[in-house]
Homo-oligomer: A and B are copies of this chain.
Amino acid sequence: MISIQTADFDTGAEIRALQGNSQTGAVVSFTGLVRDMASHGAVTAIELEHYPAMTEKSLQAIIEQAGKRWPILGVRVIHRIGYLAAGEQIVMVAVSSAHRHAAFDAAAFIMDFLKSRAPFWKKEYVDGEGFWVESKSSDEAALERWNQT
């Protein structure tokens, strides 16, 4: 259900794997990519550090929370680590459910909590120099909406 890996992944194959259950009416997937622009210039690559002992545990807890809120049939989370060039895939979250709103909401919920609670850190390389990415207040704010609903 959760993979932390340096290798790339095949979003289409992961979505197909979630379609096997005959009760499944909806699959929603999110794929995050390395953008080539940052505030300080053109990004050629990023480096992803994580906290190996904690990463999977924290993602597991986020998925469990989503499972308590929505009738999820399947979940797949893949997050890459190490060096990734601009344009490469970083992360994938896919959720299957009988109905579309549950799949949409659960996938957005998992991504919001992954962004602010899972122990990953990005360093962007611009002209060969590395800059640790600053967290965005908008990511923390995104968690608020899940407390209100």
Contact = CB atoms under 8 A, between A and B. Distances in A.
A25 B19 contact: no
B30 A100 contact: yes
A35 B98 contact: yes
Interface in A28-60: 28-33, 35-37
Contacts of A22: 35-37, 86-87
Nearest to A13: B12
B32 A100 contact: yes
A35 B97 CA distance: 11
Contacts of A26: 30-33
Contact of A15 (B31, B36, B87): B31
Contacts of A84: none
Contacts of A108: 100-101, 104
Given A19-B87, A108-B104, A35 B25 contact: yes
A27 B24 contact: no
Nearest to A34: B25
Contacts of A103: 30
Given A12-B15, A35-B98, 5 more contacts: A11-B29, A15-B29, A19-B87, A24-B33, A30-B100
